[in-house]
Amino acid sequence: MAHRKAGGSAKNLRDSNPKYLGTKLADGQKAQIGSIIVRQRGTKIMAGENVGVGKDHTLFALKAGTVTFGTKRKKGFNGKTTVKKIVSVVTEGVKKAPKAKKIKETTSETKKPAPKKK
């Protein structure tokens, strides 16, 4: 005879280990070479400039710089256009230069007043 009464078996008491997915560096943060920017399943966010893709679709920095997020329209194989998120790393030396101002040349031709019409 059993000393204890038989207990019922529970099916849902197990849980998987956490995978720690998501964005690791936000827009505007500094990234070092090789630092992980996004850990993801599949390519929810695409790699842009100076960003590499790991075998588990992890996005990491190829060059040191500032992380920027944006969007890009992408045409699928069936012709449908979708908007995809894209992440890039902008290096410090490649920042866009300000537009040059146009300089007016001062010659004798430009200083003459226009002839008056009668």
* Domains along the sequence of the chain with CATH: 22-92 (2.40.50.100)
Find, among 45, 57, 52, 24, the residue nearest to 87 by Cα: 45
Tens of pLDDT along 43-100?
A: 999 999 999 999 999 999 999 999 999 999 999 999 999 999 999 999 987 556 567 7
**pLDDT of res. 98:** 66
Q: What are φ and ψ of residue 58, in 5° steps? A: -75, 135
pTM above 0.75, yes or no: no
CA distance 57 to 46: 9
Per 3-state DSSP, what percentage of the chain is helix, strand, and coil (rounded to 5)? 5, 30, 60
